[in-house]
Amino acid sequence: MKPTIKRVWVLGAGQLGAMLKHAAQPLGVDLRPVDIELDANLPLEEDDVITAEREQWPSTQATDQLAAHPNFVNQDAFGLVADRVTQKQLLDRLSLATAPWKLVETNDTAASLHAVYGARVLLKQRSGGFDGRGQHWLVAAHDSSAIPQGWHNKVIAEQAIAFDEEMSVIGVRNRAGECHYYPLALNRHQDGILTVTLAPLERLSGLQNEAETMLRKVMEELNYVGVMAMELFRVGDRLLINELAPRVHNSGHWTQSGASISQFEYHVRATADLPLAPAIIKHNSVMINLIGIDYNLAWLALPGAEVFWYGKEVRPVRKVGHINFSMADQAQLVSSLRQLQATLTDWYQPALDWAISELEG
């Protein structure tokens, strides 16, 4: 009998699409990322499956065709999660803790928002923001405390959360409702952009159940299929949801090296309706984002380094690659991180120092 080769189309052809393709190949899945700007008719077939590597897309010939296909997985979830208003409403409806928020309406002023949320209020674009872009802090008794022109009804206001640290939980769900989760990942952001992820960390294991329960609630409510990420703030022993991503996520890139099934493979398996299995976690893993820097061949010479270069034009604050380490020998891992640190700019030094001190505990 001829095995059926599944074909999965991905709306979007950035690095996430490329890494999904990379993961699909050994599974025998024909996965095709599609550039959202493509002006051509795609040869879609009835049995094909459609997924996306992004929450939003412009209307083009290719995206319209993909979005209209009856096998577009999670179609309804994208619109809902892509707008922070409906995403926050979903969390409130499920009684899941999140930063207090409201839509910034025509009558709102910086003063009225400070009166409700306190001295520091974060404005976030309802949609389209990423890597901290499209955000603006209102700080009471400060000149900058004014809602920027044209932002009313286009942003939400969030109370500032004095979190202890940021983490994320990533899970997968298939059509039958079977779910699996990775251990919590600890994330370090610098200037609003993810810089380093560490996972797993023994000291976070006490929060694992709660994080999984929160994510399961969301995936079940949306009847979700595939990988979903939930960004969390830890405040003492409480978890608050920062935001959801209905897709593979940067804070899950460590799973390419540190787990028997990567987040990309899980997403392909779930969307193509292939069997899932628990992902076996290998070692302590560290993922370092390469942000706005040129490719350096010295990275390839670092023991244990697994380099992922996206082949994009290098621009400031742009994610152009990442490096994973997943090593049993902690001392060797730290030694490699120190060598990596020496190849990176000043901007990275605090993040690498932080990662090393976490590992050395």
Q: Which residues bind ligand ATP (CB under 6 A)?
A: 99, 122, 124, 129-133, 158, 160-161, 166, 189, 192, 231, 242-243
Amino acid at 80: L
Please say which residue, 79 or 303, places its beta carbon nearer to ligand ATP.
79
- In the complex with ligand ATP, which residue's Cβ is closer, 166 or 306? 166
| Nearest approach, Cβ of residue 171 and Mg ion (Å) | 17
Q: Is 75 exposed, middle or buried (0-12, 13-18, 19+ CB in 10 A)?
A: middle
Q: How many contiguous H segments (helices) and E segments (strands) does the chain have?
A: 10, 16
Interaction mask 147-186, Mg ion, x per CB under 5 A: ----------------------------------------
Site for Mg ion in 218-247 (CB under 5 A): 231
Q: Which is nearer to ligand ATP, 117 or 299 (CB)?
A: 117
| Identity of the residue, 130 or 310, whose beta carbon is nearer to ligand ATP in the bound complex | 130
Q: Say how far apart CA 268 and CA 172 lie, in whole Å.
A: 10
What does 132 interact with, of ligand ATP, Mg ion, none (CB < 5 to 8 A by kind)?
A: ligand ATP
Task: Pick between residue 24 and residue 186 the one whose CB is nearest to Mg ion.
Answer: 186
Rounded to 10 degrees, what is the CA torsion of 289, 55, 6, 268? 40
Spatial contact of 242 and 132, defined as CB atoms under 8 Å apart: no
Distance, in Å, from the CA atom of 49 to the CA atom of 31, rounded to the nearest integer, reads 9
Residue closest to 290 by CA, chosen among 314, 326, 259: 314
CA gap 100, 301 in Å, rounded:
47
In angstroms, give the least distance from the CB of 242 to ligand ATP: 5
14 binds, among ligand ATP, Mg ion, none (CB under 5 to 8 A by kind): none
Residues that bind Mg ion (CB under 5 A): 231
